[in-house]
Amino acid sequence: MRAISGFERPVIQWVFVLLSLLLILAAGAAAWVARRANGAAELARAAEEFGHFERQQLDAQLARERSAREALSLELARQREGGAEPGRAIPTLTLTPVTTRGATPPPPTVTVQHATQVIELRLVLPSTGTRETAFDATLRDWSSGQVVWSRGGLTSSTIDRQLMVTTYVTGDLFRPGAYEVLLSGRMVEGPKELAAYEVAFK
């Protein structure tokens, strides 16, 4: 093999060694930067997952607080019932199950009530052939899926020849917009989703 002219000079050899060292250092620095970037990305993903978990916890806490406030409002309403106007009835909201969820929210058909107004919510049960003894209901925002309210241990009754699950809510749950109600029954093997309902307020 023919030798490269001039490469036998020490100066050229040292320059070549220095260039090789610089390339090695540059490659090491690039690998270190890549590792730092991957670590930062992992930390960002972990922070995002933790934030999502915290939002879920806050949503559940908000639903519990609203349920407790609603129970207090109902208790106050019962205590004041003796002084209420004769013939005054609690407004009802009756919802029937939807077969499939549409791509767009339902049109607004119900007018919002005062925040302290007690409303009887009636959920018509589907004909499943089974008779659950206890039910859980969850109210969610139609667009975001955020839990607005939840209530467990509900029972069914026959109203106007229809089997329904009834509960009482207050008007502050429903602001203008679309909502979804999920109803599940308590089974031995665990909760089972029975029906979904949609409603929109104007």
40 falls within a domain = no
Say if 49 falls within a structural domain.
no
Number of domains in the chain: 1
Does some domain include residue 35?
A: no
> Distance (Å, rounded) from C-alpha 58 to C-alpha 44?
21
H or E stretch covering 181: strand 177-187
d(CA 100, CA 197) in angstroms, rounded, equals 10
Question: Is the residue at 78 inside a domain?
Answer: no
Residue 10 is assigned to a structural domain of this protein: no
Continuous segment of H or E residues that includes residue 3: none
- Asked if the structure places residue 18 within a domain, the reply is no
How far apart are alpha carbons 179 and 161 in whole angstroms? 26
- Cβ neighbours for 198, distance < 8 A, ≥ 6 positions apart: 95, 98, 101, 102, 105, 106, 142, 178, 179, 180, 181
Average pLDDT value over all residues in the chain: 79
CA distance 167 to 169: 7
Q: Which residue has the higher pLDDT, 83 or 60?
A: 60
Q: Let me know if residue 115 belongs to a domain.
A: yes
Mind listing the pLDDT tens digit for each residue in 112-133?
988 888 889 999 998 876 667 7
Task: Please report, rounded to a whole number, the percentage of residues in the chain having pLDDT higher than 70.
Answer: 72
Contact 143, 102 (CB under 8 A): no
User: What is the model's pLDDT at position 87?
Assistant: 47
**pLDDT score of 160:** 87
pTM value > 0.95: no
| Spatial separation of the C-alpha atoms in residues 89 and 91, rounded to whole Å | 6
125: closest CA among 160, 150, 91, 174?
A: 160
**What are the structure tokens assigned to 35, written together?**
């590792």
What is the C-alpha separation between 38 and 34, in angstroms, rounded? 6
Cα 34 from Cα 20, distance rounded (Å): 21
Q: Check which CATH number belongs to the domain holding 135 and give it.
A: 2.60.40
122 assigned to some structural domain: yes
Q: How far apart are CA 138 and CA 64, in angstroms?
A: 11
Domain that holds residue 118: 90-201
Check pLDDT > 70 for residue 146. Answer: yes
